[in-house]
Amino acid sequence: MKVLVLNGPNLNLLGMREPGIYGSGTLADLQRELRDLAGSLGVEIDFFQSNHEGAIVDRIHQARADGVAFVIINPGAFTHTSVAIRDAFSGVSIPFVEVHISNVHKRDAFRHHSYLSDIAEGVIVGLGMHGYGLALRYVHARLSGASTR
């Protein structure tokens, strides 16, 4: 049961970046918490963050070769711009949950549209860092064959 957590541009700055919006936890804190949760759930977890669109596309392609069963992705600003990341998910047919720390629907109009949401299995917005852990619990239930509806 392999899960890949992908974070897009500027999410390496968590903790110092607009803390009023994104909180004070760092990406390292987040990854530690998710690793602990994954351990208790018996899920194998891997992490990748990049500020480069092509690197994220390449990592999604690699995920298929690696046998990743599910991706949890916060695409950052690429959410609102990237046909390439959308096509990468369509190309590898790996299900994914889209996570946003902030409630993008309360923010600038250009953040209201996502190139990924309509092909995502689900979307979690506005629950802060908790969104990732909730997504991981969902993925675990889903991959364990539990009813998720």
Q: By CB under 6 A, is residue 76 in contact with ligand DQA? A: yes
- Catalytic position from the list 22, 115, 132, 138: 22
Q: SS3 sequence, 88-124?
A: HHHHHCCCEEEEECCCHHHCCHHHCCCCCHHHCCEEE
Residue 81 lies near ligand DQA (rule: CB under 6 A): no
Task: Tell me which residues in 97-116 interact with ligand DQA (CB under 6 A).
Answer: 100-102, 104, 111
What is the sign of the dihedral through the CA atoms of 25, 13, 138 and 2? negative
Residue 146 neighbours by CB under 8 Å, 6+ apart = none
92 binds ligand DQA (CB under 6 A): no
How near is the Cβ of 7 to ligand DQA at its closest, in Å? 9
Which of 49/102 has CB closer to ligand DQA?
102
Q: Residue 5 pairs with which residues in a beta bridge?
A: 47, 72
Contact set with ligand DQA (CB under 6 A): 10, 74, 76-77, 79, 100-102, 104, 111
Q: Which residues are known to be catalytic?
A: 22, 100
